[in-house]
Structure 1
Amino acid sequence: MKNVVVRNLSDEVHRAIRQRAAMHGRSAEAEIRAILTDAVQPPERVKLGSMLTAIGREIALTVEEHALLDNRDRIPAEPMEFD
């Protein structure tokens, strides 16, 4: 894991982070990690595989084609061959 140092944080922001951390029952450092994680990985983001599956349902894929998409993360990719 990487470390990040934040300098020149205002007293007001630091106090707000400590208060927010206390409300969530965690340390200020854990709260900052949670804030940063939520900012860059929001829970409402749509993952590509899920989006492709939804598109497949809209265009009425066959059951077999849909099963291939459902197994996309469990079947390892085959290496490419260059003949």
Structure 2
Amino acid sequence: MTAITIRKLPEGAKQRLRMRAAAHGRSMEAEARDILVTALDEPRRVDLSWIDQLMSAAEVYDGDEGVSLDIPEREPARTADLAPESLQ
């Protein structure tokens, strides 16, 4: 086994580690080891952008063709009436 030293922990981190270790009935070293091993063993979460998520969904739902959406026709924008009497 190898050993490491961790310097410059944020304020209160050592105290929180001590409290967490006590709650689990083990030493601070054993608690830190468990935290590191657990964090490193978890499968990496892939943060997809919303575009990647949309493209992934399109592949699942509609193969390589993309997603077919029924888009309603749009109406032209209304002109703003800025006459003083219309603002009341």
TM-score, normalized by length of structure 2? 0.46
Kindly indicate whether structure 1 or structure 2 has the higher relative contact order, using CA contacts under 8 Å at least 6 residues apart: 1
Please report the TM-score for the alignment, with normalisation by the length of structure 1. Answer: 0.48
- Larger helix share, 1 or 2: 1
